[in-house]
Amino acid sequence: MASGRSLERSEAHYYGAGPALMPTEVLQQAAYDIINYCGEGVGVGEISHRSKLADDIINNTKKNIADLLSIPDNYEVFFMQGGGTTGFSSVATNLSSNFYKQNGDLGIRAKPYYIVNGTWSLKSFEEAKRLGLDAEVYYNVKQSNGKFDDYKTNSNKQLPKLNKDQVSYLYYCDNETVNGIEFPEPPKVESGINIVCDMSSNFLSKKVDVSKYGLIFAGAQKNVGLAGLTIYIIRKDLISQLNEKIDEEKKIMDKYHLPITPIANHFPTVIKNNSAYNTIPIFTLYILKLVTDKLIAEGGLENQQKLNNYKSEILYGVLDKYPKLFDLPVNTEARSNMNVVFRINGDGLESKFIEEAKNEGFTGLKGHRSVGGCRVSIYNAISKQSVEKLVAFIDKFAASQ
């Protein structure tokens, strides 16, 4: 059936936002290992998720992530099925329960607060509300500016002062994939407030001080792997939960109408079972292991961040060169290194650009359906040479208009 087929491929100039391009050498290794892993006669996708082989993959991937991010000892790394949506849904229930487990009944219902600076942080806030939590918006950039163009408000509105005894967590999305907005650093809040961060589309693209966060999560399929897996990094004191079987704790849950977390997304259960309480997508996790192996071998996040900075600088540079043609909606200081968004002024020029780019081998350039325009996602797997070729094409296209 596979006669004449090869594991070789030319470099793909694909800039889709996710599922995204993967390193060819990772896919080639995985292709062999999905047939026969470690001489077992079965593939890595066929082994038991509770076998020694699977346990080694889980533990080695955890170690790779801990090494790349220099994660402190008081944090736990674990994995669950799903993506970013699973992540923000799980955060809402788990951390709300943990707040009362740590603090008991303070006589007031604690609230999670959300920074809404794009599509995914808005979805996260809406889900917390849907689950019955008294979620509040800390600030909403679009309400202040009329559009998602920054990571902070430009208005003179006084932001609410947060009391750590009344805030279960403060949530934000570090890189808004749809809107092309990225935080240069975590938001500054009062000491004692736990910051939760969705890093789905820029995870392992740069150095991060994990100690500033209570919890970080990331769907793998945008920057470091395939769809179906989410990575979590949580400070250990945030793991424990109220127990609905203990009268005193059940009373707190009933009093404040706390939603019960499904067992498959219950952090203490997942961690206790080393991410294998239910069937972890072990092949997808193995891809993440290979990607992190490659990152380590190539000098870690310091080198990767330098490369990503270079790619974004030359891409923004050519777009800024033609301000009458290209409209970049995001304020300069908030521009994403991962997802470069822009509109092209002129009737029919966006369609022409995308068609001509496709003819030259550049694909995945259409903007998200909710905002239109163009979007170039330049994740880790996109090479320096690929971006340089795209920049040359954009320069040629713009000069001919």
Q: Is residue 28 classed exposed, middle or buried when 0-12, 13-18 and 19+ CB atoms within 10 A define those classes?
A: middle
Tell me, yes or no, whether 349 and 324 share the same domain.
yes
pLDDT tens digits along 66-114: 999 999 999 999 999 999 999 999 999 999 999 999 999 999 899 999 9
DSSP string, 6-53: -S--PPPEE--SSS----HHHHHHHHHHTT-STTSSS-TTTS-TTSHH
User: What is the pLDDT at residue 163?
Assistant: 86
In this structure, what CATH number is given to the domain that contains residue 247? 3.40.640.10
State the total domains in the chain: 2
pLDDT tens digits along 248-275: 999 999 999 999 999 999 999 999 999 9
User: What is the pLDDT at residue 155?
Assistant: 52
Asked whether residue 14 is domain-assigned, the answer is: no
Residue where one domain finishes, among candidates 293, 328, 353: 293
> Rounded CA gap, 111 and 94, in Å?
13
In this structure, what CATH number is given to the domain that contains residue 306? 3.90.1150.10
Asked whether residue 25 is domain-assigned, the answer is: no
Asked if residues 49 and 275 have their Cβ atoms less than 8 Å apart, the reply is: no
What mean pLDDT is reported for the chain? Answer: 94
The sign of the CA dihedral 325, 328, 331, 336 is negative
Q: Is 198 a catalytic residue?
A: yes
Asked whether residue 44 is domain-assigned, the answer is: no
Angle, CA 49 vertex, CA 218 and CA 94 arms, to 5°: 40
Tell me, yes or no, whether 235 and 323 share the same domain.
no
Choose, from 101, 111, 123, 222, the residue flagged as catalytic: 222
Asked whether residue 94 is domain-assigned, the answer is: yes
In this predicted structure, the answer to whether residue 392 has a pLDDT above a threshold of 80 is yes
> Rounded CA gap, 339 and 15, in Å?
9
Tell me, yes or no, whether 68 and 84 share the same domain.
yes
Tell me, yes or no, whether 247 and 136 share the same domain.
yes
> Rounded CA gap, 57 and 291, in Å?
12
Residue where one domain finishes, among candidates 241, 265, 293: 293
Q: Is residue 127 classed exposed, middle or buried when 0-12, 13-18 and 19+ CB atoms within 10 A define those classes?
A: middle
Asked whether residue 387 is domain-assigned, the answer is: yes
Task: Report the SS3 class of residue 89.
Answer: helix
Tell me, yes or no, whether 80 and 190 share the same domain.
yes
Tell me, yes or no, whether 220 and 264 share the same domain.
yes
Domain that holds residue 171: 52-293
Please tell me the pTM assigned to this model: 0.96
Q: Is 120 a catalytic residue?
A: yes
Tell me, yes or no, whether 177 and 209 share the same domain.
yes
Tell me, yes or no, whether 358 and 267 share the same domain.
no
Tell me, yes or no, whether 263 and 363 share the same domain.
no
Asked whether residue 252 is domain-assigned, the answer is: yes
Tell me, yes or no, whether 285 and 242 share the same domain.
yes
pLDDT tens digits along 275-296: 999 999 999 999 999 999 999 9
Tell me, yes or no, whether 307 and 371 share the same domain.
yes
Choose, from 33, 150, 174, 198, the residue flagged as catalytic: 198
Count other C-beta atoms under 10 Å from residue 206's C-beta: 21
Residue where one domain finishes, among candidates 276, 293, 310: 293
DSSP string, 24-35: HHHHHHHHHHTT
Diameter over CA atoms, the chain? 73
Choose, from 33, 101, 111, 120, the residue flagged as catalytic: 120
Asked whether residue 361 is domain-assigned, the answer is: yes
Tell me, yes or no, whether 83 and 120 share the same domain.
yes
Asked whether residue 132 is domain-assigned, the answer is: yes
pLDDT tens digits along 326-384: 999 999 999 999 999 999 999 999 999 999 999 999 999 999 988 889 999 999 999 99
